[in-house]
C-alpha cells in the first residue's frame, strides 16, 4: 500500500515579503517634580509626564473633570481600566505637560502668588503662563478661573513692553480674545501691537512674521507705508522704492495699494463724521437740528485743524487721534442749549470710530481678487 507524502510548504526566503515592523513601546512616563503629591488620589498623564493631584481641586468650578471621574458601572472597557488610581492606569489628557502644569499652578497657587499678577509692577508678569491658563481653563470649563485670567491679561498687556521676539504673545492673545468674543481684550491687544510697531526700527520685519493675525499684520503694513520712500531718478522715468528690503513683490504691491486706499479714506474724513449717539439727549426732538449740526461743524473744524493737517496724508489713525484731542479741548458751554448731549456723546462717537478703523485697517491692504502683482520687481534698501 502506497502512502502519499504530504509536501512541505515552501518557505520564501527571498526577502520579498518584509517582516512586520515592531510596534514601538509607549514612551516611559516620568513623575512631575512639582505636581506629583503622594497624598493625591488622581493620576493624570499629559504627554510623558505623570501628575498625581487631588480630585476635589480638579472638580472645582463645575469643571469637565467631574464627568471624567465617573466610570460606568459594569464597564470592562480599556477606558474604564484607566481609572487614574495609580501610575499604571492614569487618566490621559491631550494637553502638553507645560499647558497642564499651568492649570495645576492656578489651582494650587496661594493667594499672594495670584495677587502678585494684579500688582502695580507688571514687568515681571509671565504672560505666556496666563495665556496657557486662559486656554486650558476654557477647555475644561473652569469658568471663574478663566474670567480671572482674562481680567489679568487685560490689565497687564498695556503695561508690558513687547519686542519682536515676544510679539507672538500678542498674536496668541488676540486669537484668544476673538475666540472668547472679548471686545475689550481685542482693543487692548491692538493698542499694544500698535505701540510695538512704532518702536521697531524696521516695520517690514513684522510683515514677514508667519501665522500672524491679519489685523496685526495690517499695523505693520500701515507703519511701513510711512517708512518706505519713493525715489525718482533725474532725467529718467525710473522709480525705486526704498526701505522695503526683504519684502516680496506681493508685499510691495499691497503697500502701494494700501497707500492709495489710506489717502482716499483720509480725504473722506472731513465729510464723513461718525454718528453722534442720541443717548442722554435732553431735547431729542431737536437732536438732529441742534446737536448733530453742531457736531458736524466741530468735526469739520477738527479734521482741518493744524495738528491733523500736519500729519502724513496716509496717517489715518494719527489724524483721528488728532481730531479726538481737538474735540476734547473745545469749550462747548456756550455752543448750544443742549451742549451736554454733545459733550457726552462726542467722545463715544470718536472712540468707537477709532476702534472700528483699527479692526478694519487690514482692508486697506487687501488686493482685488484678479489683481496681478507678478510684474513688480524687488525693492532696494
The answer on 154 and 60 residing in a single domain is no
Task: Please tell me what DSSP assigns to residue 71.
Answer: -
The answer on 189 and 128 residing in a single domain is yes
The answer on 185 and 125 residing in a single domain is yes
CA angle 191, 356, 291 (to 5 degrees): 115
Residue 37 confidence (pLDDT) above 80: yes
Q: For residue 359, is it within any domain?
A: no
The pLDDT value given to residue 271 = 87
CA angle 347, 181, 102 (to 5 degrees): 120
The answer on 136 and 85 residing in a single domain is no
Distance, in Å, from the CA atom of 95 to the CA atom of 120, rounded to the nearest integer, reads 32
Distance, in Å, from the CA atom of 331 to the CA atom of 342, rounded to the nearest integer, reads 11
Least confident of 87-101, 281-295, 313-327, 356-370: 281-295
The answer on 88 and 36 residing in a single domain is yes
Question: Pick the residue with more confidence: 335 or 276?
Answer: 276
Q: For residue 121, is it within any domain?
A: yes
Domain edge (last residue) among 49, 66, 96:
96
The pLDDT value given to residue 374 = 52
Q: Where are the alpha helices (DSSP H) in 270-375?
A: 293-303, 306-309, 316-328, 339-359
| Residue 39 cell numbers, joined | 497624598
Q: For residue 243, is it within any domain?
A: no
Q: How many CB atoms lie within 10 A of CB 350?
A: 23
The answer on 79 and 179 residing in a single domain is no
Mean pLDDT score, 302-317: 94
Q: For residue 39, is it within any domain?
A: yes
Q: For residue 317, is it within any domain?
A: no
Among residues 152, 200, 206, the alpha carbon closest in space to that of 176 is found at 152
Cα 268 from chain centroid (whole Å): 30
Residue position matching grid coordinates 487618566: 91
Residue 276 confidence (pLDDT) above 70: yes
Q: What percent of the chain has pLDDT over 70?
A: 80
The answer on 209 and 154 residing in a single domain is yes
The answer on 188 and 153 residing in a single domain is yes
SS3 380: strand
70 contacts 79 by C-beta, under 8 angstroms:
no
Average pLDDT of the chain is: 82
Among residues 66, 61, 69, the alpha carbon closest in space to that of 106 is found at 61
Mean pLDDT score, 232-247: 76
The pLDDT value given to residue 112 = 86
Residue 6 confidence (pLDDT) above 50: no
Contacts 24+ apart (CB under 8 A), 330-337: 330/298, 332/294, 332/298, 335/294, 336/290, 336/291, 336/294, 337/283, 337/290
The answer on 166 and 72 residing in a single domain is no
The pLDDT value given to residue 80 = 53
Question: Pick the residue with more confidence: 62 or 31?
Answer: 31
Mean pLDDT score, 63-83: 63
CA-to-CA separations, 105 to 140, 145, 271, in angstroms, rounded: 15, 12, 54
Q: What percent of the chain has pLDDT over 90?
A: 49
Question: Pick the residue with more confidence: 100 or 112?
Answer: 100
Q: For residue 89, is it within any domain?
A: yes
pLDDT digits (tens, 9 = 90+) for 119-177: 655 555 789 999 999 999 999 999 999 999 999 999 999 988 898 888 899 999 999 99
User: CA torsion angle for 40, 41, 44, 48 (degrees, to 10)?
Assistant: 50
Structurally, how many domains does the chain consist of? Answer: 2
Domain edge (last residue) among 43, 66, 96:
96
SS3 229: strand
The pLDDT value given to residue 369 = 73
Distance, in Å, from the CA atom of 141 to the CA atom of 163, rounded to the nearest integer, reads 32
CA-to-CA separations, 127 to 7, 163, 172, 193, in angstroms, rounded: 74, 13, 10, 15
The answer on 123 and 207 residing in a single domain is yes
Residue 8 confidence (pLDDT) above 70: no
Q: What is the chain's alpha carbon radius of gyration, rounded to the nearest angstrom?
A: 31
Q: Where are the alpha helices (DSSP H) in 200-305?
A: 204-207, 214-227, 249-269, 293-303
Pair type for strands 42-46 and 49-53: antiparallel
Q: For residue 153, is it within any domain?
A: yes
The answer on 122 and 34 residing in a single domain is no
The pLDDT value given to residue 77 = 52
171: containing domain? 111-227
The pLDDT value given to residue 61 = 83
Domain edge (last residue) among 96, 121, 150:
96
Indicate the pLDDT class of residue 85, thresholds 50, 70 and 90. confident
Half-sphere exposure of 101 (CA within 13 A, CB side): 15
State in Å, rounded, how far the first CA of the chain is from the last one: 101
Q: How many residues are present in the chain? A: 381
Q: For residue 260, is it within any domain?
A: no
352 contacts 276 by C-beta, under 8 angstroms:
no
The answer on 119 and 201 residing in a single domain is yes
The pLDDT value given to residue 209 = 82
Indicate the pLDDT class of residue 16, thresholds 50, 70 and 90. very low
pLDDT digits (tens, 9 = 90+) for 181-232: 999 999 999 999 999 998 888 888 888 887 788 999 999 999 999 888 877 7
Amino acid at each position: 500500500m502506497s502512502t502519499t507524502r504530504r509536501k512541505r510548504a515552501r518557505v520564501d526566503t527571498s526577502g520579498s515579503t518584509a517582516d512586520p515592523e515592531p510596534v514601538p513601546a509607549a514612551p516611559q512616563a516620568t513623575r512631575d517634580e512639582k505636581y506629583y503629591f503622594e497624598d493625591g488620589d488622581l493620576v493624570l498623564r499629559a504627554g510623558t509626564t505623570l501628575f498625581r493631584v487631588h480630585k476635589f481641586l480638579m472638580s472645582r468650578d463645575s469643571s469637565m473633570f467631574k464627568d471624567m471621574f465617573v466610570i460606568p458601572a459594569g464597564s470592562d472597557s480599556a477606558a474604564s481600566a484607566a481609572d487614574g488610581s495609580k501610575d499604571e492606569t492614569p487618566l490621559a489628557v491631550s494637553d502638553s505637560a507645560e499647558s497642564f502644569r499651568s492649570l495645576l499652578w492656578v489651582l494650587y497657587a496661594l493667594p499672594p502668588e495670584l495677587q502678585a499678577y494684579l500688582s502695580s509692577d507688571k514687568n515681571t508678569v509671565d504672560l505666556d503662563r496666563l495665556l496657557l491658563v486662559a486656554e486650558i481653563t476654557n477647555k475644561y470649563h473652569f469658568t471663574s478661573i478663566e474670567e480671572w485670567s482674562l481680567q489679568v491679561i487685560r490689565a497687564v498687556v498695556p503695561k508690558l513692553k513687547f519686542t519682536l521676539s515676544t510679539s507672538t504673545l500678542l498674536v496668541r492673545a488676540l486669537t484668544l480674545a476673538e475666540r472668547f468674543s472679548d471686545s475689550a481684550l481685542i482693543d487692548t491687544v491692538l493698542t499694544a501691537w500698535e505701540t510695538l510697531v512704532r518702536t521697531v526700527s524696521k516695520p517690514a520685519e513684522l510683515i514677514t512674521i508667519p501665522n500672524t493675525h491679519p489685523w496685526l499684520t495690517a499695523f505693520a503694513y500701515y507703519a511701513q507705508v510711512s517708512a518706505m520712500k519713493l525715489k525718482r531718478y533725474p532725467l529718467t522715468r525710473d522709480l525705486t522704492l526704498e526701505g522695503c528690503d526683504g519684502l516680496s513683490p506681493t508685499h510691495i504691491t499691497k503697500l502701494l495699494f494700501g497707500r492709495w486706499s489710506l489717502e482716499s479714506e483720509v480725504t473722506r474724513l472731513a465729510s464723513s463724521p461718525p454718528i453722534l449717539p442720541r443717548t442722554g439727549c435732553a431735547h431729542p426732538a431737536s437732536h438732529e437740528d441742534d446737536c448733530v449740526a453742531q457736531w458736524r461743524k466741530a468735526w469739520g473744524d477738527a479734521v482741518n485743524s493744524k495738528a491733523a493737517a500736519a500729519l502724513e496724508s496716509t496717517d489715518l489713525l494719527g489724524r483721528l487721534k488728532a481730531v479726538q484731542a481737538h474735540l476734547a479741548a473745545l469749550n462747548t458751554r456756550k455752543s448750544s442749549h443742549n451742549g451736554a448731549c454733545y459733550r457726552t456723546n462726542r467722545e463715544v462717537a470718536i472712540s468707537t470710530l477709532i476702534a472700528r478703523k483699527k479692526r478694519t485697517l487690514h482692508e486697506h491692504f487687501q488686493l482685488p481678487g484678479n489683481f496681478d502683482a507678478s510684474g513688480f520687481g524687488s525693492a532696494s534698501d
